[in-house]
A and B are shown apart, each in its own frame.
Chain A
Amino acid sequence: MTIASQTTRPRTDARTTVTGVPAREDRGAGRSRRTGGRRIGSHVFLVILAIYFVIPIWWLFVAATKSTAGLFSSPAFWFEDPINLFSNIAGLFTHQGGIYWRWLLNSFLYAFAAGIGATILSILAGYGFAKYRFRGRGVVFGVILGSIMVPLTALVIPTFMLLSQYGLINTPWAVILPSLLSPFGVYLMRVYTQDAVPDEMLEAARIDGAGEWRTFFQVALPLLKPAIVTVLLLSVVGTWNNFFLPLAVLTDPQLLPVTVGLNRWTALSNAGAGGEQVWNLITSGAFISVVPLILSFLFLQRYWQGGLAIGSVK
């Protein structure tokens, strides 16, 4: 892609079109001026889609500010008169000794430990596969590619049995270690490294006397930044989202991630027995747990939008 845009650049005015994107927007504007009617239709279509996708999130935001009684009695998509968000948050600090915050902390711990670990392994392996020609490389990489299609949930039960033999059940390691596995991350890093790190550059560094590790850290790593952010984001979100694995390997309430914990509260509230109806805490707890992810996606927009393209162009 880089090469293509470089070769087309001399043909057009270099000052206006550095990449293809501004040129396309001009063209899009020109075309839509002619077909104004379809433009309105397109916008209506998009707005309807956006409403469908965002209304449940709006509901969660509103519900987070309600008392349990308010959840049942007030209009679903608007606020209850006294806003109870802060009393709900206070409730989260007291219910079962504030275990909710422990769960949230666990989620962060698992997601970042596994995400960072998986990313480091993917960078090393992707770089190794892309830039070194060692015997067996094709076969090994082929096996890894094929393993993208192995459903990870099929591994949960045997993983549980293996971990229990080594006494790792009910420890953070039971969630973190299996989550280090990211064949798709290795694939993305290899594809990206092949394009982004020219062989000539590595050769030049070696001729200048840099060792293999120094070449990797000082020449290759800086060039891989966009792919690193993408793989990190995907693996952090993957671990944060994982439900089956922690559900199987953790039973100690103190160790649960927030998703499994909240599901447990819902199950208890639905069962109705023992006065455990904490609907207001479930909604505000769910909302609070969602905020960090939404914010990080907003702030890292540039990276994930570009990063997802790495996977799709190839």
Chain B
Amino acid sequence: MTTTISAERATSASPAAAGPRRRGPSLERRRQRVGWLFVTPFLVIFALFLVFPLVYAFGMSLFTSTLATGTQFTGIANYVKAFTDPLFLEGLLRVAAYALVMIPIQLIVALAAALVLDTLATKLSQLSRLLIFAPYAIPVVIGALMWSFLYSPRFGPAGTLFDVVGLSTPEFLAADTIFGSLVNIVTWQWSGYYMVVIYAALRSIDPSVYEAARIDGANGWQTALRIKVPMISSSMVMVITFALIGTLQFFTEPTVLRNIAQGAIDAAYTPNMYAYALAFSYSQFNYASTIAFSLGVLVFAGSYLFLFLTRKQSGLK
């Protein structure tokens, strides 16, 4: 990323410097102005709804407001409180655990489906592709609602299924099973989207590569694992980065499931839920800002670190 940008800057700087003095500067200045005009509308929104809220949250996090003392500047006290707050730390550990379990599962399902689809070109495989993608077209809230019905012992679809095979129905919404139940919802909702991204990348590989591999005696498995996967590693990195950013800010699914699994999911289940509860149930806006800002920084640092570690594979030198 950085190389392309700096290279472009280098080439863009030189014609301006070496160009003809007579008409160059005015035309160049006009073009510069038009360029800014094109990007300004977005930059206004960017400033108002990204930069400003971040600065504002950071500012809020440096103050503490209590009924007794009013609003006081307390410096990093809120951060000290946050990073020693067991509720926040547990939430962080929990989303980290979700990331560790959920992302590999989604990636394996998506990659396996995409690789199989890439070798088949039948009507049945086209239909499967659409059906696997279908959950992405369902809003996350509706998806979570549907699964909360399916998990519910009162509505019983799971009960019917497990009766057929003669097993007792497991509790999907108990404290020790809710982790797996949430992993299942997220896998169901997102794998299809990742599958389509990976599939699109596979379709863009030049077929002559496979020809060469076949002549060299590679079988289907070898072609898939040693040629296709390395060649699409940049889209895999992209998919993992998006999954990482999404998982660390986990909010919607546990919030919806909380309606039905009160005991298993508490108000501080994930850092985002904690920030929401602090702000809207306890009106602790300063501390909520601290949690939100800390989470933002941690997610940014985590995804940046991941991109840095995979810079070779991603082609983003």
Contact = CB atoms under 8 A, between A and B. Distances in A.
B293 A293 contact: no
B96 to A, nearest CB: 14
Contact of A45 (B16, B112, B188, B304): B112
Nearest to B30: A212
A157 B279 contact: yes
B43 A140 contact: yes
Contacts of B56: 158, 161-162
B139 A240 contact: yes
B134 A76 contact: no
A155 interface: yes
Interface in A201-235: 212, 216
A157 B38 contact: no
B52 interface: yes
B210 A27 contact: yes
A54 interface: yes
A63 B42 contact: no
Q: How large is the interface on B (under 10, 10 to 19, 20 to 34, 35 or more residues)?
A: 35 or more
A156 B291 CA distance: 12
B296 A46 contact: no
Contact of A150 (B50, B150, B280): B50
A135 B155 CA distance: 62
Contacts of A161: 56, 60, 285, 289
A202 to B, nearest CB: 11
Nearest to B196: A308
A142 B259 contact: no
Contact of A39 (B120, B288, B293): B120
B46 A181 contact: yes
Contacts of A54: 131, 134
B38 A181 contact: no
Interface string A141-178: 11011110111111111111110000000000000011
Interface string A10-42: 000000000011011101110110010011001
A48 B136 CA distance: 18
Contacts of B196: 304-305, 308
A212 B34 contact: yes
A159 B208 CA distance: 51
Contacts of B248: 151
Contact of A38 (B1, B35, B155, B220): B220
Contact of A52 (B141, B188, B260): B188
Give the secondary structure class of B's interface.
Answer: helix
Contacts of B133: 297
B232 to A, nearest CB: 8
Given A27-B207, A50-B128, A147-B50, A312 B272 contact: no
Contacts, number: 330
A240 to B, nearest CB: 6
Given A57-B134, A127-B38, A135-B32, A266 B148 contact: yes
A7 B122 CA distance: 29
Contacts of B183: none
Contact of A158 (B31, B53, B136, B204): B53
A212 B107 CA distance: 44
A105 interface: no
A23 B209 CA distance: 13
Contact of A32 (B120, B198, B211): B120
Given A134-B35, A156-B292, A122 B42 contact: yes
A39 B124 CA distance: 12
A90 interface: no
A75 interface: yes
25 contacts: A46-B117, A50-B128, A53-B132, A56-B135, A60-B142, A72-B155, A124-B41, A128-B39, A132-B31, A138-B6, A138-B8, A141-B5, A160-B279, A161-B60, A180-B49, A212-B34, A241-B141, A244-B251, A290-B138, A290-B142, A296-B137, A298-B130, A312-B200, A312-B201, A312-B234
Interface of B: 1-2, 5-6, 8-9, 12, 16, 31-39, 41-43, 45-46, 48-50, 52-54, 56-57, 60, 109, 112-113, 116-117, 119-122, 124-125, 127-128, 130-143, 145-150, 154-157, 160, 188, 191-192, 196-198, 200-201, 203-204, 206-208, 210-211, 220, 232, 234-235, 238, 241, 245, 248-249, 251-252, 255-256, 259-260, 272, 275-276, 279-280, 285, 288-289, 292-293, 295-296, 299-300, 303-304
Given A177-B49, A312-B201, 5 more contacts: A38-B220, A134-B35, A153-B249, A216-B38, A263-B141
Interface of A: 1, 4, 8, 20-21, 23-25, 27-29, 31-32, 35, 38-39, 42-43, 45-47, 49-50, 52-54, 56-57, 59-60, 63, 71-72, 75-77, 120-122, 124-125, 127-129, 131-135, 137-138, 140-142, 144-147, 149-162, 177-178, 180-181, 183, 186, 212, 216, 237, 240-241, 243-244, 247-248, 259-260, 262-263, 266-267, 270, 282-283, 286, 289-290, 293-294, 296-298, 301, 304-306, 308-309, 311-314
